[in-house]
Chains A and B, each alone.
Chain A
Amino acid sequence: MRPAASRLLLVLAALLASALLLPGHVLAQGCAMCGTAFNHDDPVARAFNWSVLFLIAMPYTVFALAAGWLFLAHRRRSGRRRADVIVLRRTQAADGPEESPP
């Protein structure tokens, strides 16, 4: 293994080990405001939860829609090219074999 790769692995292992040493409840606490400022049944906390869910979901939705549209456009385009090649071959077959150069 090259020294740069082994050094990177060592750094990653050290980061993983330090992350495992942290107490678990700190990882699960989340945002300080939402976790501590509001009660469990607080309507403001509920409103923030729904709003954050919406704000998280929208970029993924928009990205997926745009990517799906681009994918379909490329597939349709390549299908049209294949159809053009088939038509060209049929036309050439109907015209007869090409004359070989002298």
Chain B
Amino acid sequence: MTAESLTMPRRLTPVPAAPEPAVSNTRLAIVIVITAETMLFTGLIGMYLVFRLSAPEWPPPDLPRLPATVAALNTLVLFASLVPLTRALTAVRRGDVAGRRGVHLAAALGTIFLAVQGAEWVRLLRHGLTPGSSNYGGAFYLLIGCHAMHVLVAVLWLATVAVLTERGYFSARRYAGFEMSTIYWYFVCGLWGFLFPLVYLY
């Protein structure tokens, strides 16, 4: 018996590729993060509802009213950022290089939202609405401030994605980071769509 006859025959059929999961790990991770964030905001909104519904007069008569008009315009700015970002994600998935710049615009609009909100906060603080002034001020700054922190994180994430896009990091086969930042931005905008009418209009 020769050594050649003992060797295993060469495998001619290709090894089948492992089946792709229905939900990728990155998508599952961002869903878990968003679920946890939703529960955090559920607790804060529950706190706000207790103060809001138990107060005989809301807002208290000696404290300034919230700037609903400016906040409404700011809401439009925030929601407008969804359009270029969605187009940019579609362009990345298709492998279209030119259409990816929407993420820059979305990050810029998010920065404008934060800047306007910061300016309004400074104005409110000067008019006497501080976190320690009443339950009204405390609940407002805690709830809206927590959302603003999330917007800040999302804007920083979008800015990072914009830099990586400029360097050609994303492609039609590799766009998980881009998609995750977009989903997180959707969450931040959707949350504001709930918080704005609750805090500013109700």
Interfacial residues, chain A to chain B (CB-CB below 8 A): 43-44, 46-48, 50-52, 54-55, 58-59, 62, 66, 69-70, 73-74, 76-78, 81
For A76, list chain B residues within 8 Å (CB).
Answer: 22
With beta carbons under 8 angstroms apart, the residue of B22, B38, B50 that contacts A74 is B22
Bound Cα distance from A76 to B39, whole angstroms: 28
For A47, list chain B residues within 8 Å (CB).
Answer: 49-54
Given A47-B53, A54-B46, A59:B22 Cβ within 8 A: no
Number of interface residues of B (CB under 8 A): 20
Given A55-B43, A62-B38, A73:B23 Cβ within 8 A: yes
Could you tell me if A51 and B31 are in contact, using CB atoms closer than 8 angstroms? no
Given A47-B52, A48-B50, A76-B22, A54:B35 Cβ within 8 A: no
Could you tell me if A43 and B22 are in contact, using CB atoms closer than 8 angstroms? no
Chain B nearest CB from A83 CB (Å) reads 14
Could you tell me if A51 and B46 are in contact, using CB atoms closer than 8 angstroms? yes
Chain A nearest CB from B16 CB (Å) reads 12
Minimal Cβ-Cβ distance residue in B for A71: B22
With beta carbons under 8 angstroms apart, the residue of B23, B39, B52 that contacts A62 is B39
Bound Cα distance from A48 to B52, whole angstroms: 10
Given A47-B50, A47-B52, A51-B53, A58:B23 Cβ within 8 A: no
Bound Cα distance from A50 to B50, whole angstroms: 8
10 A-B pairs with C-beta separation under 8 A = A43-B53, A47-B49, A47-B54, A51-B46, A54-B46, A55-B42, A59-B39, A62-B39, A66-B35, A81-B19
- Taking chain A's interface residues, is the majority helix, strand, or loop, or is none over half, making it mixed? helix
Residues of B45-95 contacting chain A, CB below 8 A? 45-47, 49-56
Interfacial residues, chain B to chain A (CB-CB below 8 A): 19, 22-23, 31, 35, 38-39, 42-43, 45-47, 49-56
For A59, list chain B residues within 8 Å (CB).
Answer: 39, 42
Bound Cα distance from A69 to B22, whole angstroms: 11
Minimal Cβ-Cβ distance residue in B for A74: B22
Could you tell me if A51 and B50 are in contact, using CB atoms closer than 8 angstroms? yes
Could you tell me if B39 and A66 are in contact, using CB atoms closer than 8 angstroms? no
For B51, list chain A residues within 8 Å (CB).
Answer: 47
Given A66-B31, A70-B23, A58:B38 Cβ within 8 A: yes
Bound Cα distance from A59 to B43, whole angstroms: 11
Could you tell me if B54 and A43 are in contact, using CB atoms closer than 8 angstroms? yes
Bound Cα distance from A69 to B183, whole angstroms: 14
For A55, list chain B residues within 8 Å (CB).
Answer: 42-43, 46
Minimal Cβ-Cβ distance residue in B for A75: B22
Bound Cα distance from A43 to B54, whole angstroms: 5
Minimal Cβ-Cβ distance residue in A for B19: A81
Minimal Cβ-Cβ distance residue in A for B22: A77
Minimal Cβ-Cβ distance residue in B for A48: B50
